[in-house]
Amino acid sequence: MSIASILLGYKDFTTSRGLKYHYYFSAAEGGKPTILFVHGFPSLSVDWHNQITYFKAKGYGLVVPDQLGYGDQVEILEHENVKEVFAVGHDWGAKTTSVIANLFQDRFLGFGFLSLDTCLPIPSSPMSKPGNWCLKQALGYENFGYWGFFSAPDANETIQKHKESFWDLVHARDSRLPKYAFCPTGAIRVWLESDSRTAHAPYVAKEIERKLRHKLSQIYEKEFTKNGYHGPLNFYKVAVSGADMEDAKAIPLAQYPISKPVFFGGTSKGRGLSPCACGTLSRAILPQGDDAHL
C-alpha cells in the first residue's frame, strides 16, 4: 500500500472526554482479529505503514491512532464495534498498552510490547530523579538521563530550533551513539545546541524509495510544525512529575499481572530496555514488597 492510500483510510472520532482522535481504520476480513497499534515517542500513527500494509493484505483488522490516551483508545474500538483485538505498543506506546492491559484486560485477546516491556503502575513516588533509578551498573551506561531534558520547560523550543540534529540522533546509524549523545544527563542538549549531525540508520536511508521518505517527511513537518512537541513530551513530564500517581493508585495490585498471551520484541542495539532490565526497573520503583505480586 502507498502512503497516499493509507491516508485515505483515516477517520476522526471525538471521545466522551471531548478529545478528537485521528486514526487509521480497516475492518477485518474472513474472521481475522483486529490489531490495535500504539506508537511511541516521537512518532505518528503513519509510522506503522509497513505493518498496516502487511497485516491488511492478510485480512487483519487495523486500528492505528495518533496517541492521546488509553481509555479513549478503547472508546475507538467500541465506536468501530470491534470485538476481537490484540493491542501492540512500541516505546511509550508500550506504557499505554500496559495500562490498557491493567484496566481492560478482558477486552483483549493478547498484548504485544516492542522495545519496552510491560510498565507497571507507579503509585508510590514520582520518578523525579531518573539518576536515582538508572540501570548504569546493569547496562554499562546511564540510560535515563535524557528524561531531564525532555521534561524541561524549554525542550519543545530547543527541539524545534534543531530539528535536523534531533531526527538524526533519534534515527542514528551508529547504534553506539545514543549511549554517549542521547542517554547521559545533559548529552542530548549538547548535541542539539551544537547542531551535530550523523548518518541515518538503513531503515530510514532505504525507506522503500525517496518518494516515500519525502512523503513521510512532509507529514512529519506538517504535524510537528502545527502542534510542536508539547504533546509527545508530556509523556516524560507526567512521569517525572508524578502527575499520574493518583491514576496508578486506582489500579488494584490484583490487576497488575497479565494472564492473556503476551509477546515482547526487543533490540540488541537500541536504547530501549531489555526484558531483564525492565524487570529490574519495575522492582526498583515499586513499593517495597510489591514485587511479590508480579
Taking only the tens place, the pLDDT of each residue in 156-198 is 999 999 999 999 999 899 988 988 999 999 999 999 999 999 9
What would the grid cell of residue 179 be? 549511549
> At residue 135, does pLDDT exceed 70?
no
Looking at residue 4, its pLDDT comes to 86
> At residue 109, does pLDDT exceed 50?
yes
Would you mind telling me the total number of residues written for the chain in this entry? 294
Looking at residue 2, its pLDDT comes to 83
Looking at residue 131, its pLDDT comes to 53
Q: What are phi and psi of 147, to 5 degrees?
A: -60, -35
What would the grid cell of residue 157 be? 523550543
Cα-based distances in Å from 55 to 32, 204, 233, 286: 10, 21, 30, 37
Q: What are phi and psi of 67, to 5 degrees?
A: -60, 135
Which has more confidence, 254 or 140?
A: 254
Looking at residue 220, its pLDDT comes to 87
Looking at residue 292, its pLDDT comes to 34
> At residue 282, does pLDDT exceed 90?
no
Distance CA 75, CA 199 (A): 41
Cα-based distances in Å from 287 to 124, 181, 188, 252: 6, 32, 31, 13
> At residue 125, does pLDDT exceed 80?
no
Looking at residue 221, its pLDDT comes to 87
Confidence tier at 271 by pLDDT (50, 70, 90): low
Looking at residue 288, its pLDDT comes to 39
Which has more confidence, 38 or 124?
A: 38
> At residue 124, does pLDDT exceed 90?
no
Distance CA 119, CA 122 (A): 9
> At residue 290, does pLDDT exceed 90?
no
Looking at residue 128, its pLDDT comes to 55
Specify the pTM. 0.87
Q: pLDDT tens-digit profile of 208-256?
A: 456 677 788 888 888 888 878 988 999 999 888 888 888 889 999 999 9
Average pLDDT of the chain?
84
Distance CA 282, CA 120 (A): 7
